[in-house]
Structure 1
Amino acid sequence: MGWLKKILLSQKSHEQAKSTNHELLALGEDASPLSKDFQQNKIEIEKAFKNAADFRMEKVHIGKEEGLICYLSSMTDSSLLAEQIMKPLSVSAQQERSISNLKEFEAFRKEFFSGVVYQFRDTIHELIADVLAGYAVTIINGQTKTLSLQVGNIKYRSIEEPSTQTVIRGPKEGFTESMDTNISLLRRRIQNPYLKFETTIVGKDTRTPITIAYIDGVINEGILEEVKKRVNKISTHAIFDSGNIEEYITDKSLTLFPLIYNTERPDSAAANLLEGKAALIVNGSPFVLIVPTVFVDFFEATEDYYHSFFIGSFIRLIRYAAFMVALILPSLYVAITAFHHELVPSDLLFSLQAQREGVPFPAVIELLIMEVTFEILREAGIRMPRAVGQTISIVGALVIGQAAVEAGLVSNALVIVIALTALATFVSPIASFTISARLLRFLFVFMAAVFGLYGILLALFFMVAHLVSLRSFGVPYLAPVAPFIVEDQEDVFVRLLSWANQRRPHYLKTESPLKHPNSDSPSPPTDKGDEES
Structure 2
Amino acid sequence: MKKQNKLNPKQAMAWVNKQLKDVSDIEERKLKKGHEEIDIIYFKSLCDPVVINENLINRFYELDNVQLYLEFIVSFPKSLEPEKEEDLMRNMLRGAVAIFSKDKVLLFDAELVQAGGIQPASTENVVQGPDDSFTENVEINLNLIRHRYQSTNLKSEYMTAGSASQTRLIILYDEDKVDKTVLKEVKSRLSDIKAHIVQSASDIERWTMHPRFRLFPTMMLSERPDRTVLNISQGKVAILMDNTGYSILVPSIFNDFFTAMDDKIQLPPIGWFLKGVRYIALFLTVLLPAFYVAFTSYNPEILRMQVALLIAGSRATVPYPSFFEVLFMLLAMEFLTEASVRLPKAIGPTATTVGGLILGTAATEAGLVSNIMIILVSAVAITNYVIPFTMMSMGIRVSKYMFIVLASFFGLVGIVLGMISLILYLTSLRTFGKPYLKMFSMDWRRKGDRRSG
Task: Give the TM-score normalised by structure 1.
Answer: 0.62
What is the identity percentage for the equivalent residue pairs of Structure 1 and Structure 2?
Answer: 33
Is residue 504 of structure 1 aligned with residue 443 of structure 2?
yes
Deviations 1:414-444 (A, max 9, x none): 0111100000000011111001111011000
Deviations 1:45-97 (A, max 9, x none): xxxxxxxxxxxxxxxxxxxxxxxxxxxxxxxxxxx9xx99xxx9xx9xxxxxx
Is residue 451 of structure 1 aligned with residue 390 of structure 2?
no
Quote the Cα distance in structure 1 between the aligned partners of 2:123 and 2:394. Answer: 14
Quote the Cα distance in structure 2 between the aligned partners of 1:314 and 1:200. Answer: 41
For residue 387 of structure 1, give the secondary structure of its aligned residue in structure 2: coil
- Residue 460 of structure 1 is matched in structure 2 by 419
Quote the Cα distance in structure 2 between the aligned partners of 1:159 and 1:249. Answer: 29
Quote the Cα distance in structure 1 between the aligned partners of 2:356 and 2:301. Answer: 32
- Residue 383 of structure 1 is matched in structure 2 by 342
Q: 1:157 to 1:286 in 2, by over 3 A?
A: farther
Q: 1:215 to 1:406 in 2, by over 3 A?
A: same
What amino acid is aligned across from residue 329 of structure 1 in structure 2?
L
Note the C-alpha offset of 1:157. 7.4
Note the C-alpha offset of 1:204. 2.1
Note the C-alpha offset of 1:304. 0.5
- Residue 73 of structure 2 is matched in structure 1 by none
Look at both structures and tell me which one has the larger radius of gyration over its CA atoms: 1
Is residue 261 of structure 1 aligned with residue 220 of structure 2?
yes
Is residue 407 of structure 1 aligned with residue 366 of structure 2?
yes
Deviates more, 1:337-346 or 1:367-376: 337-346
- Residue 163 of structure 1 is matched in structure 2 by 122
Deviations 1:351-404 (A, max 9, x none): 211121111111000110001111000000011111211112222111101110
For residue 173 of structure 1, give the secondary structure of its aligned residue in structure 2: coil
Quote the Cα distance in structure 1 between the aligned partners of 2:297 and 2:304. Answer: 15
1:428-507 matched pairs, under 5 angstroms: 428-480=387-439, 488=440, 504-506=443-445
- Residue 376 of structure 2 is matched in structure 1 by 417
- Residue 158 of structure 2 is matched in structure 1 by 199
CA contact (8 A) 2:236 2:250 kept: yes
- Residue 68 of structure 2 is matched in structure 1 by none
For residue 245 of structure 1, give the secondary structure of its aligned residue in structure 2: helix
Note the C-alpha offset of 1:469. 0.5
- Residue 211 of structure 1 is matched in structure 2 by 170
What amino acid is aligned across from residue 214 of structure 1 in structure 2?
Y
CA contact (8 A) 1:253 1:470 kept: no
Quote the Cα distance in structure 2 between the aligned partners of 1:389 and 1:253. Answer: 33
Is residue 334 of structure 1 aligned with residue 273 of structure 2?
no
Match of 1:301 among 245, 255, 260: 260
Q: 1:471 to 1:428 in 2, by over 3 A?
A: same
Quote the Cα distance in structure 1 between the aligned partners of 2:325 and 2:160. Answer: 51
- Residue 231 of structure 2 is matched in structure 1 by 272
Is residue 283 of structure 1 aligned with residue 242 of structure 2?
yes
Match of 1:244 among 194, 203, 216: 203
Quote the Cα distance in structure 2 between the aligned partners of 1:355 and 1:295. Answer: 38
Aligned residues: 343
Quote the Cα distance in structure 2 between the aligned partners of 1:162 and 1:361. Answer: 45
Provide structure 2 residue ranges, at least 5 long, that are not aligned to the other structure.
Answer: 1-49, 62-114
What amino acid is aligned across from residue 472 of structure 1 in structure 2?
T
CA contact (8 A) 2:206 2:212 kept: no
Q: 1:398 to 1:513 in 2, by over 3 A?
A: farther
What amino acid is aligned across from residue 288 of structure 1 in structure 2?
S
- Residue 343 of structure 1 is matched in structure 2 by 302
CA contact (8 A) 1:504 1:513 kept: no
Match of 1:292 among 220, 245, 251: 251
- Residue 318 of structure 2 is matched in structure 1 by 359
Deviations 1:215-243 (A, max 9, x none): 11110111111111111111211111111
Quote the Cα distance in structure 2 between the aligned partners of 1:181 and 1:320. Answer: 35
Quote the Cα distance in structure 2 between the aligned partners of 1:472 and 1:504. Answer: 16
Quote the Cα distance in structure 2 between the aligned partners of 1:350 and 1:458. Answer: 28
Quote the Cα distance in structure 1 between the aligned partners of 2:154 and 2:261. Answer: 20
- Residue 371 of structure 1 is matched in structure 2 by 330
Quote the Cα distance in structure 2 between the aligned partners of 1:404 and 1:157. Answer: 49
Task: Give the TM-score normalised by structure 2.
Answer: 0.73
Match of 2:131 among 172, 180, 196: 172
What amino acid is aligned across from residue 358 of structure 1 in structure 2?
T
Note the C-alpha offset of 1:513. 6.3
- Residue 272 of structure 2 is matched in structure 1 by 313
Quote the Cα distance in structure 2 between the aligned partners of 1:360 and 1:321. Answer: 33
Deviations 1:313-361 (A, max 9, x none): 1111000000000100000000000011112222222221112111111
